[in-house]
Amino acid sequence: MHIRDGILSPEVCVVTGLISLAAVGYSLRKLRLDLEDRAVPLTGMLASVVFAGQMVNFPLIGLPVSGHLLGGVLAAVMLGPWAACLAITLVLVVQAVLFNDGGLLSLGANILNMGVVGAWGGYAIYTIIRKWLGNGTMTAIPAAVIAAWFSVLAAAALFCFEFGCSTGSQEFHLRGIFTLMVLYHALIGVGEALITGSVLSFVLSRRPDLISIPGAASPITNVSQFVMAGVVGGLAIAAILAPLKSDHPDGLDQVVQQTGMEARQIERDGLVFQGYELPLPRGFGWSTLATSLAGILGTLVVFGIAMGLGKGARWNLPVIESGEPHGR
Amino acid sequence: MADNSPVVTPIGPCDAIPGTARLALTLLVIVVSSLIPLEHWPAHGLLLVVVFAGLSLAGVTLGYLARRLMLFLPMLLVFGLSVPITQLHRESAWGWMVSLWLRCTISFLAGLWLIHVLPFPELLATLLRWRCPPLLVAMLAFMYRYIFILWDELARLRQAREARNFGSGSWKRDWVTNAQMIGLLLLRAMERAERTHQAMLARGWDGSPKFLGTEARKGE
């Protein structure tokens, strides 16, 4: 999961580093308002737990390898997205400078993939699913399980994107490695989801008061929640779909070529994302990248439409009075 | 806060370099190794020699180096190979793979040098000097202190787990036991954080971190 130095190009490291810097700075500001003087002990301790929790190996059926917790969503469920983003950042920093696990220069990319997309995005998905299920105490488990799976897959997709940008000028395709990457992380995501779910069910059985209901006092506003959830969901879906899009023309294209219905071409030219590929400069090995990007953009557009429809239709969802968030 | 660290580092020739320069030097080596194209492979070799010299100056033994590389290299080899294997007909992929291996190995060794010559308290001081937000540095210092305590806690939980016949039951039971172990660790840690917070308040904590000794460190 940790990106090593040398895998991403320095330019990509700088860009992801700047994005992470902004995200961590924003989290720090929010956290100061949110937890006040408890920010340092709670976040520092949470980071230590995530760090220690990653040391516990989970056996995998019939395999000599074992999996472990990643913890982004678990941390977000416990203390909210801001503390979780910082906790994951701290874990990554300590792993890099104390154990040489994960790169120094690629720290920004690691924070972006796991801390920002993992914790913020995972929390957004968690909140939305929980609200949708009715905010009962036990709804935290399915919501966290789904969010954990999505966060891992989104991190893998983002890595593929960064990796694609790093090797963008090369003339070979990365579709094969992306497919491997996504398949592998789909499995890791199942493990992460199961671990998150079982740890959370234990915590809920002992101290349900520790897990607050993300209600009206939610640290994320509705709009940004939807945006974050959309980004993560879109990345995850793009991860699954982008490598599957083959080099061959799809069924419709083939029919058009065979029957010579070139007149229909005009109709297709009118589409925004022609052949699911953004019009980027040619001869630069952009093809795979553009496909992925178009996939992500397409998903976001679909999500925007769905959101608009949802707002317009005003579905009759059960309204749950969110009680006092359990302050501790 | 930083001077009570349990880790004692031996004084070596690398300690003569200031902390800031050590971090900057490592980052420089990593960036340079990423920027050298494969055609200039002697430069890669030169960089490897420099990093290796640094490692031996820092007192890293060959056995330790071999153990770390044994864990690191297989993953790198597989990752590098997966690109050309999926497209055998493209020549450029093989060259890219070799250059990836060189880049990553040099960066890994440079990182290994850094963790041997830059003790954590010094890193915190360096981060403060580099205008890192004090709140983040305080969290990092707090985490560094509690990692070892939680590690011990985990060791005790593990011992209790082994004593209760762990690993001889079904796969599912082991899984549940492990999850409960993490859950218990989480609960105990959160309660510990509450107690620590109370203790910090009793000692005048107001939420804004202050670092002792950072002024003295600036002069080094």
Q: pLDDT tens across A106-122, in order? A: 999 999 999 998 898 89
Tell me if chain A has a CB within 8 Å of the CB of B126.
no
Where are the alpha helices (H) located in A134-212, listed in sequence order? Answer: 140-166, 175-206
* Residues of chain B found within 8 Å of residue A210, distances taken between Cβ atoms: 187, 190
* Residues of chain B found within 8 Å of residue A37, distances taken between Cβ atoms: 197, 200-201, 205-207
Query: Can you give the pLDDT at residue B140?
Result: 92
Largest separation between any pair of C-alpha atoms in chain B: 69
Q: List Cα–Cα distances, B33 to A102, A319, B37, B45, in angstroms.
A: 17, 58, 9, 10
pLDDT at B112 exceeding the cut of 70: yes
Min CA distance, B51 vs chain A (Å)? 15
Is residue A15 within a helix (H) or strand (E), and if so which, with residue range?
helix A10-35
Is residue A30 within a helix (H) or strand (E), and if so which, with residue range?
helix A10-35
* Residues of chain B found within 8 Å of residue A98, distances taken between Cβ atoms: 115, 120, 144
Closest among B56, B182, B24, B26 to A56, alpha carbons compared: B182
Integer Rg of chain B from CA: 23
Instruction: Determine the topology of domain A10-244 in CATH.
Output: Arp2/3 complex 21 kDa subunit ARPC3 (1.10.1760)
Mean pLDDT of A9-32: 90
Query: Can you give the pLDDT at residue B189?
Result: 93
A283 residue type, one letter: G
Tell me if chain B has a CB within 8 Å of the CB of A211.
no
Closest among A118, A283, A86 to A185, alpha carbons compared: A118
Integer Rg of chain A from CA: 21
Query: Can you give the pLDDT at residue B172?
Result: 78
Min CA distance, B76 vs chain A (Å)? 9
Of A4, A41, A170, the CB nearest to B108: A4
Query: Can you give the pLDDT at residue A166?
Result: 83
Closest among A4, A1, A299, A307 to A153, alpha carbons compared: A1
Query: Can you give the pLDDT at residue A274?
Result: 41
Other Cβ atoms within 10 Å of A247 Cβ, number: 7
pLDDT at B146 exceeding the cut of 80: yes
Q: List Cα–Cα distances, B87 to A171, A291, A326, B130, in angstroms.
A: 11, 19, 55, 44
Rounded to whole angstroms, the Cα distance separating B181 from A53 reads 9
Going by pLDDT thresholds of 50, 70 and 90, the confidence category of residue A221 is low
Mean pLDDT of A312-319: 36
Query: A175–B30: do the CB atoms touch at under 8 Å?
Result: no
Query: B187–A203: do the CB atoms touch at under 8 Å?
Result: yes
Of A7, A42, A104, the CB nearest to B26: A104
Q: How high is the ipTM of this complex?
A: 0.86
* Residues of chain B found within 8 Å of residue A193, distances taken between Cβ atoms: none
pLDDT at A240 exceeding the cut of 90: no
What is the sign of the dihedral through the CA atoms of A210, A50, A230 and A179? negative
Tell me if chain A has a CB within 8 Å of the CB of B51.
no
The residue count for chain B = 220
Mean pLDDT of A71-87: 91
pLDDT at B10 exceeding the cut of 60: no
The lowest-confidence range among A33-42, A302-311, B180-189 is: A302-311
pLDDT at B127 exceeding the cut of 80: yes
Residue to test with chain B: of A40, A93, A99, A195, most B Cβ within 10 A: A40
Tell me if chain B has a CB within 8 Å of the CB of A6.
yes
Q: What are the structure tokens assigned to B190, written together? A: 């959160």
Chain mean position to CA A160: 13
Of B150, B185, B193, the CB nearest to A41: B193
pLDDT at A214 exceeding the cut of 80: no
Contact A73, A116 (CB under 8 A): no
CB pairs A-B closer than 8 Å: 224
Query: Can you give the pLDDT at residue A292?
Result: 55
| Average pLDDT value for chain B | 83
pLDDT at A226 exceeding the cut of 90: no
Q: List Cα–Cα distances, B180 to A166, A198, B205, in angstroms.
A: 41, 8, 33
Min CA distance, A312 vs chain B (Å)? 42
| Average pLDDT value for chain A | 73
Query: A90–B27: do the CB atoms touch at under 8 Å?
Result: no
Q: Give domain limits for chain A.
A: 10-244
CB contacts under 8 A, B 151-180 vs A, are 151, 153-154, 171, 174-176, 178-180
Contact B124, B141 (CB under 8 A): yes
Rounded to whole angstroms, the Cα distance separating B63 from B55 reads 13
* Residues of chain A found within 8 Å of residue B181, distances taken between Cβ atoms: 56
Other Cβ atoms within 10 Å of B160 Cβ, number: 12
A313/A151: higher pLDDT: A151
Going by pLDDT thresholds of 50, 70 and 90, the confidence category of residue A48 is very high
Q: List Cα–Cα distances, B17 to B56, B164, B220, in angstroms.
A: 16, 51, 9
Query: Can you give the pLDDT at residue A90?
Result: 94
Query: Can you give the pLDDT at residue A112?
Result: 93
B35/A301: higher pLDDT: B35
Min CA distance, A139 vs chain B (Å)? 18
Closest among A109, A119, A57 to A88, alpha carbons compared: A119
* End-to-end CA separation in angstroms for chain A: 33
pLDDT at A324 exceeding the cut of 50: no
Mean pLDDT of B24-34: 89
